[in-house]
Amino acid sequence: MTVGCGEKKETINVYNWGDYIDKSVLKDFEEEYGIKVNYSMYETNEDLYIKLKQGGSSYDVIFPSDYMIERMIREDLLVKLNKDNIPNIKNIDEKFFNLDFDKDNDYSVPYMWGTVGIIYNKTKVDDVVDSWNILWNEKYKDEIIMLNSQRDTLAVALKKLNYSMNTRNIKELEEAKEQLLIQKPLVYAYLGDEVKGAMVSGEAAFAVVWSGDAVAMIRDNPDLEYAIPKEGTNLWFDSMVIPKSAKNKEGAEKFINFMARPDIAARNTDYIGYSTPIPEAVEMLPEDIRNSKVAYPADEEIENTEIFHDPSDIITEYDRIWTEITSQD
């Protein structure tokens, strides 16, 4: 973009999940720093990875999840951050650092976190919802929405069987596949972002969702409730990183620092419903979100959780199993 007499305006290219930021924050960043933000969106970590590996697109800031960050570090796709340029990192709760996917905190700055669980409509469900098993109850045929995500949906079946969602055991993965094939005739749809509208409008009784989406849905429909199943679930983290292909690392670090400011983090989390890792930002939120056990569960409620690890060593098995599930009539 040119301004004035042919002078080029500084830009950064930001690539994020769909519906995962308050867009007014981008305008404020542009005004404060004089840096134009070219903003685009993806649907899955795998879509992001493929775009990055294919080249041809230069992104300065991206927002991958834990296991994808682990893979990108291993494949040397990310640059180490200059923490001197990101002083607002001090605002982030220390419990969100030194996690397995970036043990030395060299590459990533936490953005949002949460759990995966079951959201259900209390007017349609008269059973106790405390187990993944309820998603296999024939009584609720055509009332169940699953995530259109091979990793998350296989994880649900693995936890139902009391296996690790990070298993490398092919026999266990095959058992999970069989469970999902048994369940498939009961499933109303496999959805991504569309799950929010479907549950708010009462199209189904249950959906597997990320906790942040659950917060937003409950806000729009008080008949909805969220449960973390007793067998355990996924504890996930999305973080901000800079790809090696970035053309404006300094601008990217300014953007990450801006996003880690408590007032900006509060606006983002209030808008999208997801959980911020910045305690000062939590205090700025409306009381219903600040005190939400969905958004901010007690430590004991998330003891029985796992963080996803990179499955690239068995990704061909994941792809095969997911294809066999989705292609079956």
The amino acid occupying position 44 is T
Total residue count of the chain as it appears in this document: 329
Tokens of 304: 């029985």
> In the 3-class helix/strand/coil scheme, how is 202-248 assigned residue by residue?
CCCCEEEEEHHHHHHHHHHCCCEEEECCCCCEEEEEEEEECECCCCC
Print burial letters for 26-58: b (CB count within 10 Å at least 16), e (below 16). Answer: beebeeebebbbeeebbebbbebbebbeeeeee
Tokens of 80: 């180490």
Tokens of 101: 């996917």
Q: Note the pTM of the prediction, 2 decimals.
A: 0.90
> Are the C-beta atoms of residues 310 and 165 closer than 8 Å to each other?
no
Q: Cα dist. 213→109, 116, 190, 260 in Å?
A: 22, 10, 16, 21
DSSP state of 78: B
Q: Report the distance separating Cα 65 and Cα 70, nearest Å.
A: 9
**What residues contact 219, with CB distance under 8 A and at least 6 apart?**
273, 288
- Span 60-85, average pLDDT: 97
Quote the pLDDT of residue 4: 47
Tens of pLDDT along 141-177? 999 999 999 999 999 999 999 999 999 999 999 999 9
Q: Is the four-CA dihedral 188, 191, 196, 197 of positive or negative sign?
A: negative
Q: Cα dist. 65→14, 200, 248, 325 in Å?
A: 15, 26, 22, 24
Q: Report the distance separating Cα 73 and Cα 106, nearest Å.
A: 10
Number of H helices, E strands in the chain: 12, 12
Burial (Cβ within 10 Å: 0-12, 13-18, ≥19) of residue 302: middle
- pLDDT at 6 > cutoff 80: no
Tokens of 166: 């990070």
Tens of pLDDT along 225-272? 999 999 999 999 999 999 999 999 999 999 999 999 999 999 999 999
Quote the pLDDT of residue 7: 64
Tokens of 275: 């959980």
- pLDDT at 5 > cutoff 60: no
